[in-house]
A and B are shown apart, each in its own frame.
Chain A
Amino acid sequence: MDYLDYVQMTKGQRFAYRIKSFFTGIPGAIKKFFAIVGAIVKKIFLGLGHFFQNYGGRFVKGDIGTKLSYVIMGAGSMLHGQIMKGLIFLATEVAYIYFMITFGSYYLARIYNSNMILLTTTKTAQGYEQWGTGALGKEVAVHHTGTFGSELKNPDTYDDSNKVLLFFVLTCIVTIAFIAVYIANTKSAYASQQLKREGKKPLNFLQEMKTFLDERFHVTLLTLPIVLLITFNILPIIFTIFMAFTNYDEKHQPPANLYQWVGVKNFADVFYSNPMKSETFGKILIWTLIWAVFATFTNYIFGIILALLINKKGIKAKGFWRTMFVVTAAVPQFVTLLVMKLMLDDKGAVNSLLTSVGIPAVPFLTNATWARITVIVVNMWVGIPYTMLITSGLLMNIPEDLYESARIDGANAVQQFTKITFPYILFVTTPYLITTFVGNINNFNVIYFLTGGGPAVSEYYRAGKTDLLVTWLYKLTVDTKDYNLAAVIGIMVFIICAIGSLIAFNMSKASKNEEEFS
């Protein structure tokens, strides 16, 4: 179908077409998701190819100093007259080797094994015997058959699995950082060699330092944030992703009970092999998506309506009305939500009001269906002021001459809204809509403070009827310590958000071509 067909359709057909194209867009977006992943992998390999080409090329063309710095870091810099820089490179190499010998190799060796300890296998008369080397080189018999899986209960002789996994990731990151410095070293040696050949003097140390305030100012600005980001954000995320492949649950809490690699068992559990977990996951996933759609669009639509009402011509005291709603948005969410929870309690203020006028009490938070409706309605209470605040500003930005020409053409108020106001707001707020949708998939506060995920049901695995994936994740982490399952759910939420953002991004690109506002 091309644009002409689309224009000739009636409104209903267009709407149906939009809905259809949204759902038909889902497989495309999933395909695109994997295509992007593939493209990233391809890019990485291409980059690696280039890298080795340059790496080898510099070695071939290099003089003795450059060649030497491929083994002894900083040698090239020192021979070319950059003593201080060379010493720093050399010190880095020494520090890295020391780190690997005393620390890194220990954990690298242990990560291979499913028990995260170092195993040596010897042949005995009865068959195989395996020896585990725990902390301090102490040797202990582990298994006699060569199959893994039985739990280890010997805290004195083994390393905490957490430490092994964490320090393994740390060692990997340090190694990557070291490789980066090593490459910089060969590049710098080659660069100074070329400068010397051209008869120029390489920068001395002080001059080099000065470039960090000018040409290389981005290094100065980004180093500290990136180091902290890696240590306290990326490292934990990688650690958590690894957890998804272990049996780190409430029964395996190191150091008393070590955990082991279990492969993709946790993912299999969540999808099909464990009926309870897979049912819980499936149902919570569906509810999360329903919730996200309702929460996003109710807030969006009613927020815009409220903004239109307040900004309507002839309405006085606009500032007063706006402030009244903004006040509720400004109060910290955990306060307002806890207040709502108390008011909507079975014996709370709302129910006592209802019974006093003769209406039977409503189980707002204790009946599954009611609780689901309640969280969506209360979420409107929380979110509408935000949307109103944001769209108010946008409404005032719509060029007045658009309305004027529409009025001259005889458009009535409804037509003005559907033809001008709404397309304009939709156009400007599409990115906002996407972020709110992703935000609602991750909306912890409303659910946790209002219902705590409840009402809990026995057929769910440690979750309740209003639990979202993220609140389930939180409960599994904090209350039951099923870290492996929590990690699997975190990864699934990531994938859902990524695919959702891609669909929305594609759709918004399409609508940008259609409506020409900007």
Chain B
Amino acid sequence: MTNTNDSMKTGYAQKRKAINTIVYIILSVMVVIWIVPIIWLILQSFNTEMGVTTKFFPSSFTFDHYIALFTDEQYPYGKWILNTFMVAALSCVISTLFILMVSYALSRLRFKVRKTFLNLGLILGMFPGFMSMAATYNIMDIFGLKQQLFALVIVYSAGAGLGYQVAKGFFDTIPRSLDEAAKIDGATRNQIFWQIILPLSKPIIVYTALTTFTGPWADYIFVSYFMKDNESNWTVALGLYKMLDKEAISTHFTTFCAGAVLIAIPITILFIIMQRFYVEGVTGGAVKG
């Protein structure tokens, strides 16, 4: 401690600068590790070769694979996109409605089986999601929905009532005095739900809609079991997975890359815009425990 005050300050600033430089280096290295596979995917989607390459940079570029996606009859990517979109959109509408209804009822209304339902949600949530897949398939068969896209919509949205936690946490934060004031003015609970609570809940509606859309959009498990050999009802996740089969990969790898890039773009943009809601959804529930 023989240093003067001044040199201590500059020493401190230098030390801090050095630490920051190290941090920048670490961050840059990490970004490279994280972003390289994505860039590799994008580069390969323009590669003129058809199979898997070991080289990082393609030797020549082409746009053909993106065109092939929509012209290849063996792998009807356009049809898959349409299937995926219809299933995801319909599940999203039904699930969002269900989640809002259930979480509103559990958050704002008081009735006898409320606690039972809360516990039931907790218990059912601990079963592996696809454990009863075979049984569900049998039920769909009986309803005449075997290998139908609508069966997927039902599977994705039937359990939506259990995903009430995040939205319920949000509704819990809206002051109860609002409801009471409206009640004094003669509003029914039905009117309070539609005219007072829902207009205040835009963030949570957006969040719920997003998660219920992206879930089916990227699901592989149920599609792979429900649609097994009915190729015209495949969705993108299953179709792309099949492009990497042993017999297909040597001719379809780059097409796979193009297809993966295409479906990743909208989801990525949505997620980046909506990351705030995502964080609020997860931690908002967490803070309240």
Chain A residues packing against B (C-beta within 8 Å): 162-163, 166, 213-215, 217-218, 220-222, 224-226, 228-229, 231-237, 239-240, 243, 306, 309-310, 312, 314-315, 321, 323-336, 338-340, 342-343, 345, 347-349, 351-353, 381, 385, 389-390, 392-394, 428-432, 438, 442, 444-445, 448-449, 470, 473-474, 477-478, 483, 486-487, 490, 493-494, 497-498, 501, 508
Contacts and interface: CB of A to CB of B under 8 A. Distances in A.
Contact of B54 (A335, A338, A348, A470): A348
B71 interface: no
B196 interface: no
Contacts of A444: 130, 221
Given A431-B286, A432-B282, A478-B225, A225 B190 contact: no
A225 B188 contact: no
B241 A327 contact: no
Interface in B205-244: 214, 217-218, 220-221, 224-225, 237, 240-241, 244
Contacts of A315: 20, 23-24, 27
Contact of A221 (B24, B105, B221): B105
Contacts of A351: 54
A493 B131 contact: yes
Given A240-B131, A342-B244, 9 more contacts: A222-B161, A229-B159, A312-B20, A330-B271, A334-B241, A340-B37, A342-B52, A349-B55, A428-B286
B31 A349 contact: no
Contact of B124 (A237, A394, A473, A493): A237
Please provide the 7 A-B residue pairs with the shortest distance between their CB atoms, ordered closest to farther.
Answer: A490-B131, A330-B271, A225-B161, A236-B132, A232-B158, A236-B135, A352-B54
Contacts of A508: 289
Interface stretch (B1-9, B61-69, B96-104, B170-178): B96-104
Contacts of A353: 56
* Interface of chain B, main secondary structure: helix
A349 B111 CA distance: 60
* Interface of chain A, main secondary structure: helix
B184 interface: no
Contacts of B224: 478
A472 to B, nearest CB: 11
Given A389-B279, A432-B286, A494-B128, A335 B264 contact: yes
A487 B133 CA distance: 10
B102 A493 contact: no
Given A335-B260, A340-B37, A490 B127 contact: yes
Contacts of A226: 161
B130 A474 contact: yes
22 contacts: A166-B138, A166-B142, A214-B190, A215-B189, A217-B189, A221-B101, A221-B104, A225-B160, A233-B162, A234-B124, A236-B136, A237-B135, A239-B135, A324-B34, A325-B34, A332-B214, A334-B237, A343-B40, A353-B56, A389-B275, A390-B282, A444-B221
Nearest to A320: B31
B30 interface: yes
Interface in B241-289: 241, 244, 253, 256, 260, 263-264, 267-268, 270-272, 275, 278-280, 282-283, 285-287, 289
Nearest to A163: B142
B154 interface: yes
B134 interface: yes
Interface in B92-148: 98, 101-102, 104-105, 109, 111, 114, 117, 123-124, 126-136, 138-139, 142
B154 A232 contact: yes
Contacts, number: 249
B31 A325 contact: yes
Query: Number of contact residues on B: which range applies?
Result: 35 or more
A283 B267 CA distance: 38
B134 A232 contact: no
Nearest to A478: B225
B86 interface: no
A438 B131 contact: no
A240 B160 contact: no
Interface string B39-60: 0110000000000111110000
A334 B31 contact: no
Contacts of B104: 221
A232 B102 contact: no
B190 A343 contact: no
A290 to B, nearest CB: 19
Which of A334, A335, A339 has the largest count of B CB atoms less than 10 A from its CB?
A335
A232 B190 contact: no
Contact of B159 (A224, A232, A309, A394): A232
B132 A237 contact: yes
Nearest to A394: B283
B128 A493 contact: yes
B26 interface: yes
Given A217-B189, A330-B268, A338-B244, A343 B37 contact: yes
